[in-house]
Amino acid sequence: MQFTKMHGLGNDFVIVSEFEQLPENVEDLARRVCDRHFGIGADGLVFILPSQKADVRMRIMNADGTEAEQCGNAIRCVAKYAYERQIVNMRELAVETGAGIQHVWLEVNDRSNMVSRVKVDMGVPRFDRENMNEFSAVDGASLSVLDQIFPYTYVSMGNPHAVTFVENATEFDVDRWGPLIETHEHFPNKTNVEFVTVQSPELIDMRVWERGVGQTLACGTGACAVAVAGVLNNKTGRRVTVRLKGGDLLIEWNEQDGHVYMTGAAEEVFRGEWLR
Protein backbone atom coordinates (compact mmCIF):
# COMPACT_ATOMS: atom_id res chain seq x y z
CA MET A 1 0.00 0.00 0.00
CA GLN A 2 1.53 3.29 -1.14
CA PHE A 3 1.04 6.20 1.26
CA THR A 4 1.90 9.84 1.83
CA LYS A 5 2.41 11.30 5.29
CA MET A 6 0.90 14.79 5.62
CA HIS A 7 -0.12 17.18 8.37
CA GLY A 8 -2.24 20.26 8.97
CA LEU A 9 -0.57 22.26 11.76
CA GLY A 10 0.85 19.05 13.26
CA ASN A 11 -2.45 17.13 13.10
CA ASP A 12 -0.96 14.30 11.03
CA PHE A 13 -2.40 11.77 8.62
CA VAL A 14 -1.46 8.86 6.43
CA ILE A 15 -3.04 9.52 3.01
CA VAL A 16 -3.89 6.62 0.67
CA SER A 17 -5.45 6.96 -2.79
CA GLU A 18 -5.06 3.56 -4.48
CA PHE A 19 -8.39 2.02 -3.41
CA GLU A 20 -11.86 2.21 -5.02
CA GLN A 21 -13.47 1.51 -1.63
CA LEU A 22 -12.33 0.95 1.94
CA PRO A 23 -10.20 -2.19 2.34
CA GLU A 24 -11.35 -5.09 4.52
CA ASN A 25 -10.51 -4.89 8.22
CA VAL A 26 -9.93 -1.15 7.85
CA GLU A 27 -10.40 -0.56 11.59
CA ASP A 28 -7.49 -2.87 12.43
CA LEU A 29 -5.43 -1.41 9.58
CA ALA A 30 -5.96 2.12 10.93
CA ARG A 31 -4.85 1.13 14.42
CA ARG A 32 -1.67 -0.53 13.10
CA VAL A 33 -0.78 2.21 10.63
CA CYS A 34 -1.35 5.03 13.15
CA ASP A 35 0.65 3.37 15.94
CA ARG A 36 3.59 5.68 16.65
CA HIS A 37 5.90 2.88 17.81
CA PHE A 38 5.07 -0.08 15.57
CA GLY A 39 3.45 1.69 12.60
CA ILE A 40 3.89 4.85 10.56
CA GLY A 41 2.39 7.04 13.27
CA ALA A 42 -0.54 9.41 12.73
CA ASP A 43 -3.72 10.83 14.19
CA GLY A 44 -5.70 9.26 11.36
CA LEU A 45 -5.66 7.12 8.22
CA VAL A 46 -7.31 8.94 5.31
CA PHE A 47 -8.59 7.38 2.10
CA ILE A 48 -9.15 9.40 -1.08
CA LEU A 49 -11.83 7.53 -3.03
CA PRO A 50 -13.88 8.10 -6.19
CA SER A 51 -17.12 10.01 -5.71
CA GLN A 52 -20.39 9.99 -7.59
CA LYS A 53 -21.33 13.36 -6.08
CA ALA A 54 -18.11 15.40 -5.90
CA ASP A 55 -14.59 15.60 -7.31
CA VAL A 56 -13.21 13.20 -4.67
CA ARG A 57 -14.44 11.42 -1.57
CA MET A 58 -12.63 11.47 1.79
CA ARG A 59 -13.05 8.87 4.51
CA ILE A 60 -11.00 9.15 7.68
CA MET A 61 -10.32 6.51 10.29
CA ASN A 62 -9.15 7.71 13.70
CA ALA A 63 -6.10 6.23 15.37
CA ASP A 64 -8.35 3.98 17.48
CA GLY A 65 -10.04 2.50 14.40
CA THR A 66 -13.29 4.48 14.61
CA GLU A 67 -14.46 6.54 11.66
CA ALA A 68 -14.77 10.33 11.87
CA GLU A 69 -17.51 12.12 9.97
CA GLN A 70 -15.29 15.06 9.16
CA CYS A 71 -11.86 16.56 9.79
CA GLY A 72 -10.89 20.10 8.87
CA ASN A 73 -7.14 19.51 8.87
CA ALA A 74 -7.47 16.29 6.89
CA ILE A 75 -9.60 17.88 4.18
CA ARG A 76 -6.91 20.51 3.57
CA CYS A 77 -4.35 17.72 3.17
CA VAL A 78 -6.68 15.82 0.83
CA ALA A 79 -7.23 18.90 -1.34
CA LYS A 80 -3.49 19.62 -1.60
CA TYR A 81 -2.74 15.97 -2.38
CA ALA A 82 -5.47 15.70 -5.03
CA TYR A 83 -4.32 18.86 -6.83
CA GLU A 84 -0.59 18.20 -6.72
CA ARG A 85 -1.09 14.56 -7.83
CA GLN A 86 -3.37 15.76 -10.66
CA ILE A 87 -6.35 13.77 -9.41
CA VAL A 88 -8.09 17.11 -9.96
CA ASN A 89 -6.86 20.07 -11.97
CA MET A 90 -9.16 22.78 -10.59
CA ARG A 91 -8.32 25.26 -7.88
CA GLU A 92 -11.89 25.01 -6.64
CA LEU A 93 -13.13 21.53 -5.84
CA ALA A 94 -15.82 19.62 -3.99
CA VAL A 95 -14.97 16.91 -1.48
CA GLU A 96 -17.52 14.34 -0.32
CA THR A 97 -17.26 13.60 3.42
CA GLY A 98 -19.34 11.83 6.03
CA ALA A 99 -20.75 15.25 6.92
CA GLY A 100 -21.74 16.08 3.34
CA ILE A 101 -20.08 17.76 0.38
CA GLN A 102 -17.62 20.52 1.20
CA HIS A 103 -16.21 23.13 -1.13
CA VAL A 104 -12.52 23.96 -1.11
CA TRP A 105 -10.42 26.76 -2.63
CA LEU A 106 -6.68 26.37 -3.19
CA GLU A 107 -4.04 29.08 -2.99
CA VAL A 108 -1.42 27.92 -5.50
CA ASN A 109 2.08 29.26 -6.13
CA ASP A 110 2.05 30.02 -9.86
CA ARG A 111 5.77 29.36 -10.22
CA SER A 112 5.92 25.98 -8.48
CA ASN A 113 2.23 25.00 -8.96
CA MET A 114 2.27 23.84 -5.33
CA VAL A 115 -0.56 24.52 -2.91
CA SER A 116 0.39 26.98 -0.16
CA ARG A 117 -2.91 27.38 1.73
CA VAL A 118 -6.39 25.91 1.58
CA LYS A 119 -9.72 27.56 2.35
CA VAL A 120 -12.61 25.25 3.22
CA ASP A 121 -16.34 25.90 3.48
CA MET A 122 -17.01 23.95 6.67
CA GLY A 123 -20.77 24.40 6.38
CA VAL A 124 -23.40 25.66 8.79
CA PRO A 125 -22.91 24.84 12.49
CA ARG A 126 -25.66 22.93 14.25
CA PHE A 127 -26.79 22.88 17.84
CA ASP A 128 -29.10 19.87 17.77
CA ARG A 129 -27.91 17.51 20.51
CA GLU A 130 -31.19 16.42 22.08
CA ASN A 131 -32.99 19.24 20.22
CA MET A 132 -30.56 21.81 21.60
CA ASN A 133 -30.81 25.17 19.83
CA GLU A 134 -28.23 27.92 19.78
CA PHE A 135 -29.77 29.65 22.80
CA SER A 136 -29.86 26.63 25.10
CA ALA A 137 -26.35 25.83 23.86
CA VAL A 138 -25.23 28.96 25.69
CA ASP A 139 -27.63 29.21 28.60
CA GLY A 140 -27.04 26.80 31.45
CA ALA A 141 -25.35 23.86 29.73
CA SER A 142 -22.77 22.35 32.07
CA LEU A 143 -21.15 19.06 33.02
CA SER A 144 -20.21 17.73 36.44
CA VAL A 145 -16.91 15.87 36.15
CA LEU A 146 -15.41 14.55 39.39
CA ASP A 147 -15.27 17.65 41.61
CA GLN A 148 -15.43 20.20 38.76
CA ILE A 149 -18.28 21.91 36.90
CA PHE A 150 -17.60 22.66 33.23
CA PRO A 151 -20.00 25.11 31.53
CA TYR A 152 -19.86 24.34 27.84
CA THR A 153 -21.29 25.21 24.44
CA TYR A 154 -22.25 22.34 22.17
CA VAL A 155 -21.51 22.86 18.46
CA SER A 156 -21.68 20.32 15.65
CA MET A 157 -19.50 20.91 12.59
CA GLY A 158 -20.58 17.58 11.13
CA ASN A 159 -18.94 16.03 14.19
CA PRO A 160 -19.62 16.89 17.85
CA HIS A 161 -17.75 19.47 19.93
CA ALA A 162 -18.04 20.56 23.54
CA VAL A 163 -16.37 23.97 23.92
CA THR A 164 -15.47 25.15 27.41
CA PHE A 165 -13.87 28.48 28.32
CA VAL A 166 -11.02 28.25 30.84
CA GLU A 167 -8.65 30.73 32.46
CA ASN A 168 -5.48 29.55 30.69
CA ALA A 169 -5.95 27.08 27.84
CA THR A 170 -2.23 26.78 27.09
CA GLU A 171 -1.52 25.48 30.61
CA PHE A 172 -4.72 23.49 31.06
CA ASP A 173 -4.47 19.79 31.96
CA VAL A 174 -6.05 18.51 28.75
CA ASP A 175 -4.84 14.94 29.25
CA ARG A 176 -6.67 14.70 32.57
CA TRP A 177 -9.99 16.35 31.77
CA GLY A 178 -10.27 15.70 28.02
CA PRO A 179 -10.99 11.95 28.18
CA LEU A 180 -13.41 12.38 31.08
CA ILE A 181 -15.51 14.87 29.13
CA GLU A 182 -15.19 12.93 25.85
CA THR A 183 -16.72 9.82 27.43
CA HIS A 184 -19.19 11.56 29.76
CA GLU A 185 -22.65 9.98 29.82
CA HIS A 186 -23.99 13.31 28.55
CA PHE A 187 -22.48 12.37 25.16
CA PRO A 188 -23.59 8.83 24.24
CA ASN A 189 -21.54 8.93 21.01
CA LYS A 190 -18.62 10.69 22.73
CA THR A 191 -17.47 14.17 21.78
CA ASN A 192 -14.45 16.25 20.85
CA VAL A 193 -13.50 18.68 23.61
CA GLU A 194 -12.03 22.17 23.23
CA PHE A 195 -10.52 24.20 26.08
CA VAL A 196 -10.47 27.88 25.15
CA THR A 197 -9.14 31.22 26.37
CA VAL A 198 -10.17 34.42 24.56
CA GLN A 199 -7.27 36.85 24.27
CA SER A 200 -9.18 39.47 22.26
CA PRO A 201 -12.25 39.64 20.00
CA GLU A 202 -9.95 38.57 17.13
CA LEU A 203 -7.69 36.03 18.90
CA ILE A 204 -8.39 32.74 20.70
CA ASP A 205 -6.07 30.21 22.33
CA MET A 206 -7.30 26.62 22.05
CA ARG A 207 -6.25 23.16 23.19
CA VAL A 208 -8.12 20.08 22.02
CA TRP A 209 -8.89 16.52 23.03
CA GLU A 210 -10.11 14.70 19.91
CA ARG A 211 -12.65 11.91 20.11
CA GLY A 212 -10.97 8.59 19.31
CA VAL A 213 -7.49 10.13 19.12
CA GLY A 214 -6.50 12.06 22.26
CA GLN A 215 -4.77 15.40 22.53
CA THR A 216 -3.64 16.64 19.12
CA LEU A 217 -1.66 19.65 17.95
CA ALA A 218 -4.59 21.01 15.96
CA CYS A 219 -8.22 20.35 15.06
CA GLY A 220 -9.88 22.17 12.16
CA THR A 221 -13.50 21.39 13.01
CA GLY A 222 -12.68 22.18 16.64
CA ALA A 223 -11.32 25.60 15.69
CA CYS A 224 -14.53 26.27 13.76
CA ALA A 225 -16.65 25.20 16.73
CA VAL A 226 -14.63 27.44 19.02
CA ALA A 227 -15.10 30.46 16.76
CA VAL A 228 -18.86 29.84 16.68
CA ALA A 229 -18.96 29.45 20.47
CA GLY A 230 -17.06 32.71 20.83
CA VAL A 231 -19.74 34.56 18.87
CA LEU A 232 -22.64 32.85 20.67
CA ASN A 233 -21.16 33.78 24.05
CA ASN A 234 -20.48 37.39 22.97
CA LYS A 235 -16.75 36.94 23.47
CA THR A 236 -15.42 37.39 19.90
CA GLY A 237 -16.21 38.75 16.49
CA ARG A 238 -17.08 36.56 13.53
CA ARG A 239 -13.52 36.55 12.10
CA VAL A 240 -10.88 35.20 14.48
CA THR A 241 -7.44 33.66 14.53
CA VAL A 242 -7.40 30.44 16.55
CA ARG A 243 -3.96 29.63 18.02
CA LEU A 244 -3.31 25.92 18.44
CA LYS A 245 -0.23 23.99 19.51
CA GLY A 246 0.66 23.35 15.86
CA GLY A 247 -0.03 26.85 14.50
CA ASP A 248 -2.81 29.24 13.55
CA LEU A 249 -6.09 28.88 11.67
CA LEU A 250 -8.16 31.77 10.35
CA ILE A 251 -11.87 31.15 10.96
CA GLU A 252 -14.80 33.25 9.73
CA TRP A 253 -18.46 32.63 10.58
CA ASN A 254 -20.07 34.47 7.67
CA GLU A 255 -23.14 36.44 8.68
CA GLN A 256 -24.73 36.40 5.21
CA ASP A 257 -24.79 32.66 4.44
CA GLY A 258 -24.25 31.27 7.96
CA HIS A 259 -21.34 29.12 6.82
CA VAL A 260 -18.02 28.78 8.64
CA TYR A 261 -14.88 29.21 6.53
CA MET A 262 -11.47 27.88 7.59
CA THR A 263 -8.14 28.85 6.04
CA GLY A 264 -4.82 27.20 6.84
CA ALA A 265 -1.79 25.32 5.58
CA ALA A 266 -1.23 21.66 4.72
CA GLU A 267 2.17 20.03 4.37
CA GLU A 268 3.56 16.86 2.85
CA VAL A 269 6.21 15.15 4.99
CA PHE A 270 7.24 11.94 3.19
CA ARG A 271 6.07 9.06 1.01
CA GLY A 272 6.45 5.34 1.48
CA GLU A 273 5.04 1.85 1.17
CA TRP A 274 3.20 -0.07 3.91
CA LEU A 275 4.34 -3.69 3.71
CA ARG A 276 2.34 -5.36 6.50
Write the secondary structure of 188-218 as one string of H (helix), E (strand) and C (coil).
CCCCEEEEEEEEECCEEEEEEEECCCEEECC
Q: Which residues pair with 195 in a beta bridge?
A: 164, 207
Q: Are 101 and 59 in contact (CB under 8 A)?
A: no
Distance CA 221, CA 122 (A): 8
The gap from C-alpha 241 to its chain's centroid, in whole angstroms, comes to: 15
> Of 105, 14, 104, 97, which is closest to residue 57 (Cα–Cα)?
97
User: Pairing mode, if any, of strands 214-216 and 239-244?
Assistant: unpaired
Separation of alpha carbons 177 and 149, rounded Å? 11
Is residue 224 flagged as an active site residue?
A: no
**Active-site residue flag, 77:** no
Say if residues 228 and 237 touch (Cβ distance below 8 Å).
no
Using only C-alpha atoms, what is the Rg of the chain? 18
Q: How far apart are CA 107 and CA 152, in angstroms?
A: 35
Could you count the other beta carbons within 10 Å of the beta carbon of residue 217?
Answer: 18
Contacting residues for 166 by C-beta, under 8 A, at least 6 apart: 172, 195, 196, 197
Give the active site residue among 34, 77, 219, 224: 219
Q: How far apart are alpha carbons 154 and 140 in whole angstroms?
A: 11
Catalytic residues: 71, 219
